[in-house]
A and B are shown apart, each in its own frame.
Chain A
């Protein structure tokens, strides 16, 4: 059987040699970054298999630093002629931009210096059970089973279960007139399970999902078991139905307890994005936005209460955005961004660190072969505390336990936010007393995290991800990882839907 999915489209050893041969050695620094992706998308909706989609996406980004300029050229033509054409194009852009790069000056100093080294190394996603050991008909039957469990009531008006598998091989080859060269090879295996059930009565429609796409990660078939995919359908459907008859979430100032699958979003939007150094440097002001964080805050600003500890950690096995090297070739290391509530460092790769003079991390990442790297979150995690979830619930007199994000909005400096969840549980006098629908809350990042009054322990700590973070010009969509326990916040403005 012809199976393009089970192996890289290109043999990485010959292609690495071809890339190295194509790179010029008369410029300060040159790199060729190959991105070779194979993906399979399976979805069963209302017990019918939707068209299977297989995607193969292969190409190279050539980057050339020379004379104070930097040029990129992306091509899917990997022949010697195609690569030579791309090298010429990137070389031309380096010439055109010389002396005009941001942060530099026409008086001389290059704003964006070439990478200081030629990296070497490898990375492989940890895989316990190969995805290919689970035949296609078994994968389809699994989805049919879940679909049948989701569509159990006439009030369930739409439902679906799906699986996406992506395999990505990257090769970064570097060269320069210093005669040095480098080569980094990385192999990633991603699995994205998902399901949803939508219930309706009259003008009330409620949807419950399997973690709103957050239950994903690196690995093989074991990722499904990691999140309990095979056991979730009945609960998802039952909770969608339950929401139909639940009262609206109350309005008022009260405590909230955020489940890990809502913490994903809270961390991402109000810690991750504000700490990106390219935002702080102004690169994103025309599109994704700026940041309320300013360079002088690092090392002293109280971002949150003493309970808040946030790490950048691309070394967590199996998390969505783990890697050995970022796309500029910087080796991945774990760093504390916020320690006991105090801001320590930002999310910026080698280029942003050089431009800002601030400490950063290895997070220069590109969505694919056709986009240049920019500062992105990788794995951004809230470290566990020492309370049980039960203890946090017991400590709340008046509040709501919110699960699974379904709406997010935040201003361009990442300060004023408003988030909604799929499913809420009303807490009164330390006990859960019922379900509420349309739970939402709003706040201001700058002081929201100082209201963090409880962090659950490792028992609720869940390693998840966000598959679709958008940013950049040209626009780029990329996956980020987030892990968190349940967290309690006090004195938060809470609201429900229209009556």
Chain B
């Protein structure tokens, strides 16, 4: 550990209860400015993040980001307009900016028609979740990471600190969700496209757990050093590790596999399932497991999410994720989904293949650690494409023969998760989303690996 003392952005910024009180006070003051029957919905998204970007085990960029974004929806009857500002942390200044914003929204609202799909929670249900963690100071983390990467080509990103989300409305509802986490997303690179990818993330940094991750990656590097094998296009028996499964499932999710609006407007990749022309394997059961994830359990209109929503049960479609707008548009109850209607805490139920015996069960074929850049080649048919990446090995009789140069797959999910699915592993891995677009993600997934009798590779 470094002997430099530095508490980090998370500790330097406002403490949890101060942030929460600040948000409460801001909305309470704004509520006093409302006119007539106006209703105010307010959402806060913020973070105090320290980040260290590394290349070749040295620092490329390092710094801190402190941001709080306030989004409001100003409603009168069925008319409403929304706006978003950054908070400065100075209450008098932020009060003035919120007042100015509400004034503009009030002016705009006179020009908009009634919104038939407006729906917000009118039965206040307040919640409060604060998940504390034991994360090293960024100086300590930098020293630990560089020590682990000593003599290796380590490249990646470390981000840590608090993320927090709040909901409040003028009806008195208050919700708060805050967690203190770290996420080290890194590779040990061997050469070209050969690398051992790993992620160490959580609430409490544990030196032993980190050491085990580093050891696993070091062992993969040894295997990657063998002469690579170039495979011709064709169908291969394949094992998709949980991270590879995540790439496929993220694609399906993002493009409406489980969203009500996508189902109603026939834009879901599960269109053939809707029509009764296809099913997934009976081994596949998928749910939105909010209780098991790390995302807030409330959405931006104040609805509280259920602990779990079954989406696919034994290969058949079950529920969809329904946002408040879709609930109004299609006359069904909302289950607290956000506007994108894709899972934030997806879980696929584990299967029966002993995780420790995956190599032996695969026997001869491809072991795919990661997939990359998935997209659709024919969305109506749920036909997907993408690349293998990082550690992908050719296995023979359960033993690693050689790393495999990158391959492009092009196959339907109805094959991969349907009649060609031999089984799922008995352990579902918790995968924390390392994404940091705009702000650090609070999404996660809990996924098993999948053994496929055949998978189609085309390039």
Determine how close the nearest CB of chain A comes to the CB of B102; give it in whole angstroms. 9
With A407-B376, A416-B387 already in contact, the answer to whether A2 and B104 are too (CB < 8 A) is yes
Highest count of chain A CB atoms <10 Å: which of B67, B105, B383:
B67
Are B55's CB and A72's CB within 8 A? no
Residue A140 at the B interface, CB < 8 A? Answer: yes
Closest B residue, CB atoms, query A72: B63
In the complex, residue of chain A having the shortest beta-carbon distance to the beta carbon of B46 = A76
Interface check B260, CB cutoff 8 A: no
Q: Is the CB of B155 within 8 A of A283?
A: yes
Q: Is there contact, CB below 8 Å, between A442 and B458? A: yes
A433 contacts partner chain B, Cβ-Cβ < 8 Å? no
Contact partners of B192 in chain A: CB under 8 A: 290, 413
Residues of A28-73 contacting chain B, CB below 8 A: 48-59, 70-73
Q: Could you tell me how many residues of chain B have their Cβ less than 8 Å away from some Cβ of chain A? A: 99
Residues in chain B near residue A5, CB distance under 8 A: 104
Q: In the complex, what residues of A have CB within 8 A of residue B103's CB?
A: 2
B210 at the interface (CB under 8 A from A): no
A450 at interface by CB-CB < 8 Å: no
Instruction: Identify which of B63, B67, B80, B142 gathers the most chain A CB atoms within 10 Å of its CB.
Output: B63
- Complex formed: what's the CA distance from A335 to B159 in Å? 36
The answer to whether B63 touches A71, judged by C-beta atoms less than 8 angstroms apart, is: yes
List the B side residues contacting A286 at CB < 8 Å: 155-157, 185-187, 195, 197
Residues of B within 8 A of A (CB): 2, 4, 6, 9, 12, 49, 51, 53-56, 58-69, 73, 80-90, 93, 100-101, 103-105, 107-108, 111-113, 115-118, 138-139, 142, 146, 153, 155-157, 159, 185-187, 189, 192-193, 195, 197, 265-267, 271-272, 275, 277, 372-381, 383, 385-387, 389, 406, 408, 410, 412, 435-438, 458-459
Binding site for B on A (CB under 8 A): 1-5, 48-59, 70-79, 82, 85-86, 89-90, 92-93, 95-97, 100-104, 111, 136-137, 140, 157-158, 198, 200, 202-207, 281-283, 285-287, 289-290, 370-372, 374, 407-413, 416, 418, 420, 438, 440, 442, 444, 470, 473-477, 495-498
A51 and B435 contact, Cβ closer than 8 Å, known pairs A89-B12, A93-B62, A283-B60: no
Cβ of B190 to closest chain A Cβ, rounded Å: 11
Contacts of A95 in B (CB 8 A): 4
Residues of chain A with a CB closer than 8 A to B107's CB: 1-3
- Determine chain A's interface SS by DSSP, over half rule: mixed
Query: Smallest distance from the beta carbon of A173 to chain B beta carbons, Å?
Result: 18
Complex: how many Å from CA A470 to CA B167? 29
Is the Cβ of A76 less than 8 Å from the Cβ of B112? no
Indicate which residue in B53, B86, B380 contacts A59 across the interface (CB closer than 8 Å): B86
A278 to B452, CA, bound (A): 37
- Known interface pairs A48-B116, A49-B115; A420-B377 also in contact (CB < 8 Å): yes
B80 contacts A497, CB within 8 Å?
Answer: no
Inter-chain contact B58/A96, CB cutoff 8 Å: no
Q: Which of B61, B87, B389 is A372 in contact with, Cβ under 8 Å? A: B61
Nearest 8 A/B pairs, CB to CB: A72-B63, A497-B378, A498-B381, A473-B157, A158-B265, A102-B58, A200-B266, A2-B103
State how many angstroms separate the Cβ of B90 from the closest Cβ of chain A: 6
Choose among A96, A290, A409 the residue that contacts B374 (Cβ–Cβ < 8 A). Answer: A409
Q: Which residues of B contact A58 (CB under 8 A)?
A: 85-86
**Minimal Cβ-Cβ distance residue in A for B88:** A77
Residues of chain A with a CB closer than 8 A to B153's CB:
282
A89 to B6, CA, bound (A): 10
Q: Which residues of A contact B51 (CB under 8 A)?
A: 473-474
Q: Which residues of B contact A420 (CB under 8 A)?
A: 375-378
A446 to chain B, nearest CB (A): 13
Q: Write out the residue numbers on chain A whose beta carbons fall within 8 Å of the beta carbon of B90.
A: 77, 79, 82
Q: A51-B115, A53-B84, A498-B383 are in contact. Are A104 and B58 (CB under 8 A)?
A: yes
B64-A89 in contact (CB<8A): yes
Nearest A residue (CB) for B4:
A96
Q: Is the CB of A412 within 8 A of B387?
A: yes
Q: Which residues of B contact A54 (CB under 8 A)?
A: 81-84, 101, 104-105, 108
How far is A71 from B142 in the complex, measured between Cα atoms in Å? 14
Q: What separation, in Å, do the CA atoms of A411 and B371 have in the docked complex?
A: 10
Besides the known contacts A49-B115, A281-B55, 16 further A-B residue pairs in the complex with CB atoms under 8 A apart: A2-B104, A49-B113, A51-B118, A70-B59, A95-B4, A136-B111, A200-B265, A203-B275, A290-B192, A409-B374, A409-B386, A411-B193, A411-B372, A411-B389, A498-B381, A498-B412
Q: Which residues of A contact B438 (CB under 8 A)?
A: 477
Contact at A473–B139, with CB atoms within 8 Å?
no
* A407 pairs with B65, CB closer than 8 A: no
A497 touches B380 (CB 8 A): yes
Closest to B73 in A: A51
**Residue contact B375 to A4, C-beta cutoff 8 Å:** no
B381 contact set on A, CB distance < 8 A = 203, 497-498
- Measured between beta carbons, the chain B residues less than 8 angstroms from A57 are 69, 84-86
Provided the pairs A75-B66, A287-B157, A475-B437 are in contact, do residues A407 and B377 lie with their beta carbons within 8 angstroms? Answer: yes
